[in-house]
Structure 1
Amino acid sequence: MTQKINTFLMFQNGDAEEAMTFYTSLFDDAKVVRLTRYGPGEQGAEGKIKNAAFTLAGQEYMCFDSDPRHAFTFTPSISLFVGCDTEKDLDRLYAALSEGGQELMPLSSYGFSTKFGWVNDRFGVSWQLNLP
């Protein structure tokens, strides 16, 4: 068996499907690959995401809705870093991902790239957007 490492996102507010749909609408080569829902009598809320996989720009991610509440959630210390091909694409992604979220570093030239921005989206997932 060949090892494979995937990013796995745990949502605590039942937002996994909404987040996955939002992300796949923003990126090329994006699609839902697998989706399993909690059924009646299972340990999660019926109809919520038990396990799902989706791709963004060909990279696979996994997610689920956690029924038990935890004392932790997403943190910017781990983020999804997106290298953008054009300023227009970077601006589009920044606007969409920051809507309802939090700007950590506004779009600007910080000396290490032409244009860069860092946001937490409305689900709490952290994104770094870079134009080399």
Structure 2
Amino acid sequence: MGKVIPFLMFQEGKAEEAMNFYTSLISDSEITSIVRYGANESGDEGTVMQATFTIKGQEFMCIDSNVKHQFSFTPSFSIYVDCDTEEEINNLYHSLLDGGQALMPIGDYGFSKRFGWLNDQFGISWQLNLAK
């Protein structure tokens, strides 16, 4: 068996925008490959046929779906991030929240003194925890 990699299917040509957004917010993150649809292929020319990116060493794969589906992302699957400082969790939470939706505002929930859960502008769910 090969690697297990989280796979994100974006609609409306948002994959590259999402990858650029995530890798700009979190240090030690990068886009590692992008293959785009060309002319006369099954997807819109220039959109992401397949791409990979890393966030803190965790590899992700993503695509722009060339088929419009009646579903999107769900909070049942989320990206969980342990943050080192209050400044880091606050900045990341507010940056990801812009255009998104708060599911659990940053607060003390007993299991963590500083935790927040949100859906970002692309519909991806994030759980942010202060690791102290």
Q: TM-score range by the shorter chain?
A: over 0.9
Per-residue Cα deviation, 1:2-35 (whole angstroms, up to 9, x for no partner): 5210011000111000000000001121111010
Distance apart, 1:122 and its partner CA: 0.2
Percent identity reads 56
RMSD between superposed Cα atoms in Å? 0.8
Matches within 5 A, 1:92-107: 92-107=91-106
Aligned to 2:31: 32
Deviating 4+ runs (over 3 angstroms): none
Secondary structure of residue in 2 paired with 1:110: coil
Match of 2:47 in 1: 48
**2:61 aligns to what?**
62
**Alignment size in residue pairs:** 131
Aligned to 2:84: 85
Separation in structure 2 between the aligned mates of residue 28 and residue 59 of structure 1, nearest angstrom: 12
* Corresponding position of 1:15: 14
* CA distance, structure 2, for counterparts of residue 72 and residue 100 of structure 1: 19
2:73 matched residue in structure 1:
74
- What letter matches 2:2 in structure 1? Q
User: How many angstroms apart in 1 are the aligned matches of 2:19 and 2:10?
Assistant: 11
Mind listing any 5+ residue stretches in structure 2 that lack a counterpart? none
Q: Deviations over 1:53-105 (max 9, x none)?
A: 00111111111100101111100011000011111100010000000000000
Q: Under a length normalisation based on structure 1, what TM-score does the superposition of the two structures give? A: 0.97
Alignment of 1:129 onto 2:110: no
